[in-house]
Structures are given as structure tokens and as C-alpha cells.
Amino acid sequence: MTAATTRAPRRARSSGIRRGEAAAGWIFTLPVVLILGVFLLVPVLMALWVSVSDWTGRGSPLSSSVSFVGLDNYAAVTSGGGLAERDFGTAMRNNVWYVVLVVPLQTALSLLLAVLVNGAALRGKGFFRTAFYFPSVTSSVAITVLWLFLFSTNGVVNRVLSYAGVAGPNWFNEPRGVIHHALAAIGVTRPAGALTEGGMLGISWWDWLAGPSVAMSAFILMAVFTTSGTFMLLFLAALQNLGGDVQEAAMVDGAGAWQRFWRVTLPQLRPTLFTVLTLGLIGCWQVFEQIYTGTQGGPSKTTLTPAYLSYHAAFRSQEWGQGSAIAFILFAIIVVMTLVQRWALRERPVSRRRMRMYEGVARRGGAR
């Protein structure tokens, strides 16, 4: 009997075992696949159909009375020229400012808190970790209600500002943007003609550059306050998994504390940084319950967000096609921005010039 004939039965038995393992794996995962398909995939596909149909919310969206309208619902909110386009443009402007301010602030604050509670000299680390993380486990509805009291006209925030001689604003009833407020303080109240004539999504460039309203600024502070603790734990776990040999080598080379953090620690946190930025980006574009509980888009729609607008268009105005279209536009924005972020934080190959520099330093060190 040759070696080839002895290996053939073994290969057949091995492939049979693998087929059995694959079948067992599919049997164990089948319940989860069915649950995800019924409660996730099917609703998403139905919502996609609603976004390209004229369903009015009555009866089944799959009935023969529902017609295919193509991209009309998408065009109505992006280029229709009516109230739907202006509302979508307002919501996009508000959310863009929300993302631009919340994501960097919460990332920087969470990283700072993680570095602080990871320090060897800090006493009572368990207390500070719990205190910083506590707002993240509190109900967002409860935090929103608390925020409404704190930032009311006679609330604690304005009372504290009055002690410093500053008259606090009427936070949740002030529609003007903070940049417009700042420009008005230096006497700039009339924009240039180009800023009022041009625009996007039914909103002039002057309104796009207004900045977040005072009310939205309060929500921005609340988002940073409630989410930094969660991201602090991610950074803390990553910091505790870093080896100390690289830090010691940098100290031997004479690197200071800031140089070690910027050149050694932060590059090793790249995967965690990508996770934190991605989660923060998704959460900021999906902000809904704070707006629903707090202001419901007011004052003057300056806290309106695409997520809340999608709900309002579908469940309040019975424009189910437009509400679904807004939801899928928001989904596309999140996917595109996540891919851009992944490209920006990708691992870059070392250039030849820098590689030659490293090799020269290594040769000089070996010669010593």
C-alpha cells in the first residue's frame, strides 16, 4: 500500500469531520440568524421600500395600492425647494455643528481622564473612575430633564455666572447661533451679499456659519458630560495594556513627558482612538432622545436633528416616504464619514528617507 493511498482515507475522514463541524456551527447560530433576519434585516428592507414608494401609513406597505415613486422622496428633502428641504438643511446644519464640537471634545476629555486615573501618583483611583463613569450609566432622559433645570433662566448655571458678573442667556429659548452672537458683539450684524445669496439645502451660507444655537450648545455640553466616562474606560483599558519597555527606552533617550505621550503613547492608541471616534461619530449623528425629551427641535428649529426630523416627518406629519428617506441619507452619511475616518487613521508605511535615518541611528548605536 502506497503512502498516497493511506493519506486518502485520512483526508476523507478529516473533510467529513470539518463538514460536521460546519453543520453544527450553522445549527447553533441559526436562531440568532433568524432573529436578526426577522427583526433587523426585514424591517430595514421594508423601510427602504417605503422610502421609494408613496405609502401613506395606512394598510400594508406591500399592498397593490402602494406605488413605486423612485427617488422622489429623496429629492423632496434634498432639492425640492420647499419646507421639507429647508427643514432638512436646518437639521443638517445643526447636526454638523454638533458633530464638529462634540466628537473632538469628548475624545480629548476622555483621553485626559484616562491618563489621569491611570497615573501612579493618583490616590483613590476607584472612586474617580466610578465618578467619571457614573453619568454614562444614568438614563439620558433623566440627564436631559436635569439639564433643563440647570440651564433654565433662573437655574444653577446662570446663578453661578451671575456671581462672576455675567448675565446668563435664556439657554433653551435663544435661537441665535453663538458665532452670530460673537459677531454682533463686535458690531458685525449684516453679512456680505455672497453669504446671503448662496447656500445649500435651502439654507444660506450665513445661516450655515451661524454656529450652534445657545440651546444646542447646552446639548453639546451635555453630550460631552455623559459620554466621556464611557470612552475613558476604553482608553484606560488600552493604556493598561501598553508595555513599559518603550516608555523606558524613550526616557533613556531623554524624551520628556509630553514627547513620550505624543510620540510613543498616542501612536499605540491608534486602534482605540479609531473605535472612540467611530462610536462618537455614530452617536452624534443619531442624537434623538435628548431632543425629543428636551426641546423637540425648538427654539425656531435650532435643535432639530436629522434623526428627530425623520421621526417627526413619519409619525407626526405622516410623510412616511420622506421620513424613511431621511433615515437612509443619515445612514449613508455615517458610513461615508466612518470610511473617511478609517482612511485618515490608517497605518502608513515608513518613508524611505525616515527608514534610512533609522538605519543610520541603529548603525551608530551598534558601533558604540
Mean pLDDT, rounded, for 146-152: 92
For residues 83 and 74, what is the distance between their CA atoms, to the nearest angstrom? 14
pLDDT tops 50 at residue 196:
yes
pLDDT at 359: 56
**Residues contacting 56, CB < 8 A, separation 6+:** 318, 320
pLDDT tops 70 at residue 107:
yes
pLDDT tops 90 at residue 197:
no
Q: pLDDT tens digit string along 293-302?
A: 999 998 999 9
Q: Please tell me the least confidently modeled range out of 50-59, 253-262, 358-367.
A: 358-367
Mean pLDDT, rounded, for 303-319: 94
For residues 266 and 111, what is the distance between their CA atoms, to the nearest angstrom? 10
How far is CA 120 from each of CA 65, 99, 240, 244, 247, rounded to the nearest angstrom?
69, 34, 11, 13, 14
**Residues contacting 343, CB < 8 A, separation 6+:** none
pLDDT at 142: 92
pLDDT at 347: 73
pLDDT tops 60 at residue 312:
yes
C-alpha cell of residue 198: 448662496
Instruction: Please state whether 201 falls in left (phi above 0), alpha (psi between -120 and 50) or beta.
Output: left
pLDDT tops 90 at residue 253:
no
Contact 51, 321 (CB under 8 A): yes
| Average pLDDT taken over every residue of the chain | 86
pLDDT at 361: 47
pLDDT at 367: 53
